[in-house]
């Protein structure tokens, strides 16, 4: 009775298992059916040569599934196969434990073969179901494989291999490299590739941009670098532009010496342009810095510094003339000394390599106003004296003395002995640098010993208590103790000391006192 109950329970389980298998196969059939339809539609877009094979495979697949749907599966066969394989697997494990892996594998396949021989019906059942499934799997794998591969050109360039659709990709890559070449002739630096036809995956194909990178990276004749340009003219090429930029910043910062510096920059336009350059153009960063960022070198980049400065400056006084009709036209005398004013000035000063090239005054604050100079000038026409007549025939001897200057354009006697507040001699007005001559033989007895008002001056002793003084010179051509001859050049006219213009102040001394020189010029 107990055995009958167990048999009924086992039969019930088998029916439930069969129902589950039938349900699974029904759903699998529906899914696979629609997959087959959509797969068939997709394959229609492939080449004509693949349509027949694909269509046949899909129809076979659908037919197989339709037959499976009609089969009321008996699960006893799968159970028997699984049970038998478990027994084979256990025996293989025992062989592995006692004899090792190789004998276990060999024994495993022998046991499988003997099991198949003993259960031909079961093996045939498995073959009927598994073979179509395996065929479908192989078909799907084949379709997937051929849908992801293509025939392409293998490009071998400088021992680097790449895959492209056709030669136009390489040619376009060469054009791209040429366009990015910023110096030199790229045609001579790009070699010829080697082509061969290969079957490759679509994923391995590259475009012209990647090919251009390979062209540059696979040769030592080209390089990705940065060019340094001065006013659009290439100065140098470097691989590490960050180091050069840091050096430039440090170089410019070295000119920011104090708070008055407003800005520091190069006088020229300096640019960095990245691209492809011939490798022969590359220079080490140290060489570039030594050439272009070293102060004092002719090749150094010029630096412009703008400074805001504040300083005091004198305001020059003006000269105001007071005309006197009772004085000779040649009369001119300062009657009131002028004095300069003072102002505080704020300015923007521009220097290039330390040399000032521009100054813009921003503001001026007057601290002291200037006091103008007053000059008394005569307006009456002078009577020509014998001295003036003698000067007209310059270079000749009049009386005991010759004239101390020769006639030149713009020369005249601007002041006589006794003019104004007791003028002590003659003033001979003439251009700066006009030669001064000794009026007689004598010896130089003093130089610059009569006060700063005379400027550069000296005295010649002519003997018998007679001396002559020459003042306001620009150059003195004699030395202390030197003997001079009458008519010998001894100095040049200037305006040193207290002088309002270029002239020679000439005095004649008799026994230490100034006398009118006229009598010595034949007056």
What CATH code is carried by the domain that includes residue 430?
Answer: 2.70.70.10
Task: Verify that 488 and 420 share a domain, yes or no.
Answer: yes
**Residue 323 and residue 449 share a domain:** no
Provide the domain count of the chain: 5
Buried b (16+ CB within 10 A) or exposed e, 350-364: bbeeeeeeeeeeeee
* Backbone dihedral angles phi then psi of residue 312, each to the nearest 5 degrees: -100, 145
Strand ranges (E), 105-209: 149-157, 160-164, 194-201
The rounded distance, in Å, linking the Cα atoms of 509 and 515 is: 6
Task: Tell me, yes or no, whether 18 and 135 share the same domain.
Answer: yes
Assigned domain for 105 exists: yes
> How is residue 429 written in tokens?
């007005």
Please enumerate, as own/partner, the contacts of 445-449 that have beta carbons within 8 Å and a separation of 24 or more.
445/480, 445/481, 446/480, 447/476, 447/478, 447/479, 447/480
**7 lies in some domain:** no
| The predicted structure's pLDDT at residue 471 | 94
Long-range Cβ contact pairs of 31-36 (< 8 A, separation 24 or more): 32/61, 32/62, 32/65, 33/62, 33/65, 36/61, 36/62, 36/65
From its phi and psi, is residue 464 left (phi > 0), alpha (psi between -120 and 50) or beta? Answer: left
Task: Please compute the mean of the pLDDT values over residues 365-376 and round it to a whole number.
Answer: 88
Verify that 389 and 340 share a domain, yes or no. Answer: no
Q: Is 522 helix (H, G, I), strand (E, B) or coil?
A: coil
Kindly report the length of the chain. 523
The Cα 321–Cα 324 span in angstroms is 10
Domain that holds residue 356: 308-377
Pair (142, 155) in one structural domain: no
Closest CA to 490 of 449, 444, 426: 444
What's the rounded mean pLDDT across residues 151-171? 76
> Is 9 within a domain?
no
Tell me if 185 is assigned to some domain: yes
Helix runs in 148-299, H state only: 167-180, 208-217, 241-253, 285-292
Q: What band does 12 get if pLDDT is binned at 50, 70 and 90?
A: low
Predicted confidence at residue 388, as pLDDT, reads 45
Asked if 397 and 516 sit in the same domain, the reply is yes
Domain assignment present for residue 43? The answer is: yes
| 397/402 Cα distance (integer angstroms) | 4
Same domain, 432 and 347: no
Alpha-carbon span 142 to 39, nearest angstrom: 14
Which CATH number do you get for residue 345? 2.20.230.10
Examine the domain organization and report whether 356 and 484 are in the same domain: no
Alpha helices in 266-385 (DSSP H): 285-292
- pLDDT band of residue 45 (cuts 50, 70, 90) is very low
Residue 210 and residue 187 share a domain: yes
With vertex at residue 139, the alpha carbon angle to CA 46 and CA 117, rounded to the nearest 5 degrees, is 165
Segment 436-444 shows an average pLDDT of 94
Q: Are 95 and 110 in contact (CB under 8 A)?
A: no
Kindly state whether residues 355 and 315 are assigned to the same domain: yes
Last residue of a domain, one of 334, 360, 377: 377
Domain end among 164, 188, 219: 219
Strands 373-380 and 319-328, sheet pairing: parallel
Residue 392 lies in a domain: yes
pLDDT of residue 468: 95
Question: Are the C-beta atoms of residues 235 and 228 closer than 8 Å to each other?
Answer: yes
| Those residues with Cβ within 8 angstroms of residue 200's Cβ, 6 or more apart along the chain or in another chain | 149, 150, 152, 154, 163
Same domain, 26 and 136: yes
pLDDT at position 105 is: 62
For 91, counting Cβ atoms within 10 Å of its Cβ (0-12 exposed, 13-18 middle, 19+ buried), the class is middle
Of 285, 274, 342, 355, residue with least CA distance to 314: 342
Residue 491 lies in a domain: yes
pLDDT digits 0-9 by tens, 191-240: 677 777 777 767 778 777 887 777 777 677 777 888 888 888 888 888 88
Q: How much of the chain exceeds pLDDT 70, in percent?
A: 62
299 within 8 A of 292, measured Cβ to Cβ:
yes
pLDDT at 131 > cutoff 90: no
**Same domain, yes or no: 61 and 21:** yes
Looking at 301, 331, 366, the residue that finishes a domain is: 301
In a domain, residue 480? The reply is yes
Comparing 89-93, 331-335, 392-396, 476-480, the range with the smallest average pLDDT is: 392-396
Share of the chain above pLDDT 90, in %: 16
């Amino acid at each position: 009775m107990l055995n009958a109950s167990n048999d009924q329970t086992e039969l019930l389980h088998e029916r439930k298992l069969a129902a589950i298998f039938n349900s699974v196969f029904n759903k699998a059939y529906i899914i696979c059916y629609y997959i087959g339809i959509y797969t068939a539609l997709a394959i229609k877009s492939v080449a004509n040569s693949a349509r027949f094979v694909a269509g046949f495979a899909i129809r076979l697949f659908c037919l197989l599934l339709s037959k499976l749907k009609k089969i009321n599966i008996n699960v006893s066969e799968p159970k028997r196969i699984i049970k038998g394989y478990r027994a084979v697997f256990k025996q293989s494990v025992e062989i592995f434990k006692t004899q090792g892996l190789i004998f276990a594998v060999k024994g495993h396949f022998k046991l499988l073969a003997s099991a198949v021989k003993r259960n031909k019906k079961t093996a045939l059942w498995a073959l009927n179901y598994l073979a179509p499934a395996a065929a479908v799997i192989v078909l799907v794998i084949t379709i997937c494989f051929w849908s992801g591969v293509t025939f392409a050109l293998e490009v071998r360039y400088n021992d680097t291999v790449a895959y492209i659709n056709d030669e136009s990709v390489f040619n376009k890559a060469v054009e791209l490299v040429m366009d990015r070449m910023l110096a030199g002739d790229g045609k001579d630096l790009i070699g010829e590739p080697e082509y061969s036809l290969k079957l490759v995956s679509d994923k391995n194909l590259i475009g012209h941009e990647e090919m251009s990178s390979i062209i540059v990276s696979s040769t030592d004749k080209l390089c990705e670098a940065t060019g340094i340009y001065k006013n659009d003219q290439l100065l140098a090429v470097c691989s590490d532009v960050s180091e050069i930029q840091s050096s430039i910043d440090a170089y410019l910062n070295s000119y920011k010496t104090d708070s008055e510096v407003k800005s520091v920059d190069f006088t020229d336009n300096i640019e960095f342009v990245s691209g492809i350059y011939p490798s022969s153009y590359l220079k080490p960063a140290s060489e570039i810095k030594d050439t272009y960022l070293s102060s004092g070198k002719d090749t150094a980049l010029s630096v412009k510094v703008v400074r805001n400065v504040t300083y005091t400056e004198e305001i020059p006084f003006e000269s105001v003339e007071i005309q006197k009709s009772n004085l000779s036209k040649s009369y001119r005398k300062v009657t009131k000394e002028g004095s300069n004013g003072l102002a505080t000035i704020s300015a923007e000063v521009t220097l290039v390599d330390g040399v000032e090239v521009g100054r813009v005054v921003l503001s001026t604050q007057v601290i002291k106003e200037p006091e103008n100079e007053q000059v008394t000038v005569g307006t009456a026409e002078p009577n020509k004296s014998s001295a003036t007549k003698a000067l007209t025939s310059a270079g000749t001897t009049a009386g005991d003395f010759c004239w101390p200057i020769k006639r030149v354009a713009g020369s005249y006697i601007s002041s006589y002995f006794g003019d104004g507040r007791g003028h002590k001699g003659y003033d001979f007005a003439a251009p700066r640098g006009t030669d001064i001559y000794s009026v007689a033989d004598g010896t130089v007895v003093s130089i610059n010993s009569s006060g700063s008002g005379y400027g550069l001056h000296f005295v010649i002793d002519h003997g018998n208590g007679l001396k002559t003084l020459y003042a306001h010179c620009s150059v003195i051509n004699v030395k202390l103790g030197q003997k001079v001859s009458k008519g010998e050049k001894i100095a040049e006219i200037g305006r040193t000391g207290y002088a309002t213009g270029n002239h020679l102040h000439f005095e004649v001394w008799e026994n230490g006192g100034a006398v009118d020189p006229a009598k010595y010029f034949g007056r």
